[in-house]
Amino acid sequence: MERARRDAQLRYVVIHGAACSYCIGRAERLDGSYLRTFALELKEQLAETLPAFVTSILTQPRRLEEKSVAKKKSARQNKFIRRKVNDQKETQRGLMNEYKKRNPAKLFWVVILLIILYAVLDVIAQNLPPHYSPISQAESDLAVGKFGFIMTLNFLNRGVLSLVFIFAFLRTLDLSGIARSHFRTGTYLLGAWAIGAILLAIFPTDVPATPVSWHGAIHIVVALIAFIGGAFGAFAISWKLGKNHEFEGLKPIALPLSVIAVILLVTEFGLDFVFPHLDARIGGLTERVFLGSVLLWIGIVSAYLATHVCQTKVTPNQTSE
């Protein structure tokens, strides 16, 4: 269609030029007439306008073609930009989804729920036959008897919640850009505490006032190692917290609790050697207070990390290893 219009315009120029040439030829034979004057003026006008008119006709398709090419190029650029923006949004959405999957905040809340479950199961086991004294008898005695399976499950619960806490804590270190090696000692000690709780469920203690059996001996040794790991693991981690900006607000809370746990541990084992008669009377109470201090430390640290550190790390660039 554009080509037909251009051909029509060129034919018009040819016809118009031919008519003007005829008039000029006639003007040469009509010297001095009005037609000659008109032809000469027309000749001057054509000399000025005809080249520009022809040039515009010849170059117009090129300009239209250039505009069409520029329009297509602009459309391609806009399409590329939209695609790039969409890809960036999709990438960011994927990174955020990946971060949410890796965000340990939910794991910390799971730990807190398991700690509450531990306390509930302990109370239930304590109020069932044979009604052992929570003041004088160790918590492990609750795993012996008709309803001993409740305390056995609770030992497993304590081991699992401790392992979940360690995993979530290490994941928090990764998201915060902190090397795991800074807390290696503490996490290893807490690992001994967690695995020890599971082993306590596998190797039950002996019934009170009976000879020590092989599984009872293993239970005592594992309990000793686990208790040391729990107290000093909490202390080792708390001591390192202040050296990292993300955990500065946690150290004033965690460190005193860990010190209390260490003191209670020393009291728990010291009474048996220094004041054996007193330990026989309140040994169960000191053990439960010690266990409660370690679990309280785990719960408070979990709550702080879930509500402070994990929530402030919601940035896509931290979701990659």
The pLDDT of residue 301 is: 96
Residue with tokens 């505009």: 67
**105-141 b/e with 16+ CB inside 10 Å = b?**
bebbebbbebbeebeebbeebbebeeebebeebbbbb
pTM: 0.69
CA distances from 105 to 57, 153, 188, 228, 301 (A): 73, 25, 22, 27, 12
Top-confidence residue, 319 or 107: 107
Domain segments of the chain as ranges: 2-93, 104-318
Q: Residue 65, Cβ neighbours under 10 Å: how many? A: 11
Q: In Å, how far are 40, 156, 253 from 298, measured between CA atoms? A: 108, 16, 11
Q: In the prediction, which pLDDT does 96 show?
A: 47
Inter-residue contact 23 to 40 (CB < 8 Å)? no
pLDDT digits (tens, 9 = 90+) for 31-51: 555 555 666 666 666 666 666
Please, which pLDDT band fits residue 317 given cuts at 50, 70 and 90? very low
At 83, the amino acid letter reads R
Would you call the peptide bond into 208 cis, given omega within 30 degrees of 0 as the criterion? no
Q: Please check the confidence at residue 107 and state whether its pLDDT lies above 60.
A: yes
- Reduced to 3 states (helix: H, G, I; strand: E, B; else coil), residue 254 is helix
State yes or no: pLDDT of 291 exceeds 70: yes
